[in-house]
Structure 1
Amino acid sequence: MNTNFENNTFLIESLKQGDEKAYSHLIEKFHKKLFTYAFSLTNNKPLAKDVLQNVFLNVWIFRDKLDSKLSIKNFLYTATYNEFIRQYWKNQSTKDLENKYAQALNEVIEETDEKSINTLISIVTQEIQNLPKKCKKVFLLSKEDGLTNMEISEYLDISIKTVEAHISKAYCIIREKIGEKTSSILFLIFPNKKTS
């Protein structure tokens, strides 16, 4: 193992360059302590494991965004806490999502028969496919993959305002076709994602 990895700046710079040995060192050095911390937050070993897996995965995916001046230890603990919060609200809202799905379906059914619902879903699906290339990509990253605007901004290297503009444009195009039922139909297509 390269002892230079004990140097905070060298470790981060190596990670930014895609050095897999640096990444292995990072995991080996912090995994046990971070797991203990994650477990203290979740009191659930499988969930703590998921939290930690996502933290290390995101470090690698977004490694080029790391700041060599930051403390990697503080960064990892903060990332673990933020991931715990994200997972907490995700699990907390599961029942709410199920209720919202049923509500959205009922709202559409009250005014629309099954055949028409399927037609509306087909129309929306087609409109999404016909969106401008960049607009479509941003919209699907948001609704299909569930990424936040910040995550999309970092992933595509565009500003958050640009992300918001693409999503708003997609909504406007879809609303022109199906009007007020847009949110309900989008929720039926993407039940586990935000639709507004």
Structure 2
Amino acid sequence: MDQPFNVEQLRRGDSRAFKQFFQYYGEKVFAFAFSYLKNETDAQEIVQEVFLKVWKNRQNLKVNTSLQAYLFTITFNAVKKTFLRRSKEQAFKHSLVDELDSETDVQDFENQYQLVIAKLELFIEEMPERRRQIFIARKKEGKPVKQIAEEMDISVKTIENQITEAMKYLKNRFGTELPEGLNLLVLFLDYDH
């Protein structure tokens, strides 16, 4: 997936690169945190915590490694910490506390993340050709709907319908084959048009 920021510039402390990095991943991190915490304030705090940590440790970012996986790990740990804090402070018991308790191995979660990416690529390949092209242009390349419509010489409505159908297809496939992947999917796919 092409990213609209330069990792090297980010490592050097370039605020513009960091802003682009935040714009690219901020909503995805929020959506992932919110999907577990079900609380906007907590999810926003996680976003701040995650990106503050990235900024503080920016010199250690590796150019050729997956920033998504790195962000995922930080976000997962922050979510886990929030659940543990909730359970201590409010005697809050929730089914996810058991799933995200201190015994959980981050490596297992990262492996699942890689599995979701692999499944996603497979499911995208199975789409009809035009739908696949539209989906990749919008979701992977980040092109505006209007631009895709102009490039493909079809209506904006058709583009929107194809994206909606593609998202339905992905949700159904994940729901059937890898239900736990649906929460991880929000890290790198937005559900809007």
TM-score (norm 1): 0.43
Relative contact order higher in (CA < 8 Å, ≥ 6 apart): 2
Q: Which structure: greater helix fraction?
A: 1
Greater gyration radius? 1
